[in-house]
Structure 1
Amino acid sequence: MKYIVPPTATTWAPVPEGSHFPIQNLPFCRFEEPELGEIHLGVRIGDQLLSIDSLIEHGFLGEYSDRVFLDIADLANPNEPTALGIGPDLPALPTGLSDLRRQIAELLDADNPELRDNAEATEGTFFDAETAAFEVPTFCSSFVDFYSGIHHASNVGRMFRPTQPPLLPNYRHVPIAYNGKASTVFVSGTGIVRPKGQYLPAGADAPVYGACQELDFELEMGFYISQASVPWQPVQAGEAEEHILGLVLVNDWSARDLQRWEYQPLGPFLSKSFSTSASPYLVTLDALEPFRIQGMPQDPAPLPHLRTTGAHHFDIQLEVLLQTPAMSRPQVISRSNTKHLYWSMAQQIAHLTSNGAPLTSGDLCASGTISGEEEGTFGSLLELTWKGERPLTMKETGETRTFLEDGDRVILTGWGEGQGYRVGFGSVEGVVLPAR
């Protein structure tokens, strides 16, 4: 059962104007309390983190007591057996995050004094988001990266296959993807060490091994899987969203020179596997419900197992900001929107499981680079500088960039714009560190 906080709802907790985290959002996260170093599961409200563990301890979510929750996926699957310390006599709880999010929203409602007027409870329940250290919201079981940004795919085709159609013949028939490396999915703020690998220098006949010279970002949206599926039973597209835990921003860092040398015939490997950054806040589909839209027309019509009805895409505004070491503030270098994705999350899940491969709780799927149709809306430096042929200029310092240099800071952010409020993702960011 979905739970959508009314757009007119207000909270007694302080929320700055324009915040990504009003009561209409309440995204989930895992954070480390700075003084004692304890890991908490929580939600973000305004500039504060509300500890779910503390709410349970103080009896506000009593039905969740006597259970052990290690991450947000555990919260969404509270009836899993003894591996999580659950006794056989405990009552069943609703699966998913909707009911828990409803209870938290009610506690934070402006007219509810239950938590607001309990000084003892509030003192150990709220933490400053600025001083907390974050973990990824759930343990990453596997990582799949799709290629669903049709304008990005078209741009890449124009760059590297200028005499051929921009899109390969299969693009409009199948959600292209590859398996990435789950162990290198890092939370926002983790430094990104410049990778090393083989690449072919310009004009050379043989490759060299060394530090990447063409490091890039990719603007993506990701979603974590909550509910596992049964092996050999494909998930139907119309039921796929039931398996989604929530969404995060993703930066799929890319070594373009390594990629160019290695990607044929089996696709990217070392050029992608060194680092992927994910934002710390897991935004639920319930929170994004007001921003649902129809996707772009799909021609030809997808095969039956990929067909959906209704609105399965979202109107989420996206920005990319870049700050060099010499700059005092970051500069917006691109603005895009998730409406530019050709394949929906439901179609991606249906395709992923169509051969019988199961979903696992904690799987992370990323959308692929989200580019618009015009300059200034592209989701990578590869496109923004058109293979490095049109350098970007930093307005504050006059510096130019074709690809990322050591010390550069990349920030991705995104939000849905409601009437009088925003439902946002915060940001995912990383600073490029020298090769080792």
Structure 2
Amino acid sequence: MTTANWAGNVVYSARSFHRPTSIAQLQELVAASDRVHAVGTGHSFNRIADTVGDLVSVAGLPPRIEIDAAAGCVTVGAGMRFGELVGPLHEAGFALANMGSLPHISVAGACATGTHGSGERNQVLGAYARAIEIVGPDGEMRTYRRGEPDFPGAVVNLGALGVVTAVTLDVQPAFGMRQWVYEGLHDLDAVDEALSGAYSVSLFGYWEGAGFEQVWVKVRDGDPVPEPGWLGTTPADGPRHMVRGVDPQHCTQQLGEPGPWHARLPHFRLEFTPSSGEELQSEWFLPRAHTAAGLRALDAIRDTIASVLQVCEVRTVAADDLWVSPAAGRDSVIFHFTWEDTPAVAPVVAAVDAALAPLDARPHWGKVSSRPADAVRALWPRFADWAELARGADPTGKFRNAYLDAYLD
């Protein structure tokens, strides 16, 4: 088991590392430990998954995929990656409503941090959860179910309630998709319309000139396709990677080639490692109504941003009712930044934080931000309810770490 996160910018402080191979082993470990925390696939860029005690991965637990066709749901082992779930799900005739950019991330980790895909009618991945199975501090299994009072606080849980072992997700009939890349969205005033142009839309740019270099458009079969010349753009004449100079072989198929939902919704293919990990990421969720204001605020510091930027992505996500989801209670526009892994990133992140703070920007729980904990807490109306749930579920702080202490103390 690794001692650092995927990016290598966080070396875990744990005294020991564990990869149990059964639920019973996990329960015994949790019950016996004074400090324990779960780690997923390591795609967080801060210390949300750290601990000074026992760091535990559930990736070694037996694979679990249980499809309930009648109920329209699937129960999946928490350590499994989305890319390992989608094949069996598709073969059974079902699909997830959406996926993140990477199929390499774990189901539990994505739900716990509010990770998402794109699309103005699509929610964060955890919003499709029906039930969460968690090993609590006494080693006993607890299940939170949709409809129960505490369920909206248990899905995006930041690891504070225990170690998740399984998640039950909504499914729908399988569908086909096609994907195109359009180039040259130069008019910032057209961004809002572009984000509404298909089932899933992502804009990529570098803050070096006007607008965005690429618009990735993912269209469900039967939905209209943007015409050539759409918003002044030009269809790409070949496959594209969103980062300049990188071979697009790692990306999902483009040029309108038909394919199943799970081979088009992510940006990257499961069979490839999309990058070396030598990068940092930040992400902020703003109310959708603040799209234009957010773009103007970032445009005002474009030179600062461009100095350490690999690529910026703009997406949307629909509102949900999860207490500390980044999109809780509001349709959102999302500004995502992939930075060079250099000490020069810190002041740039602080500058973006400051520029977007007046627009009620919520930072992603698993990525790099400079906002102090008290300012972040104030961005969620139900944060106090979530904190009460976390303290009640873990009264001795077994699952807490320095990251959580900043929010719960």
- Fold shared by both chains (TM-score > 0.5): no
**Normalising to structure 1: TM-score of the pair?**
0.24
- The structure with the largest helix share of the pair is 2
**Normalising to structure 2: TM-score of the pair?**
0.25
Bigger Rg, which one: 1
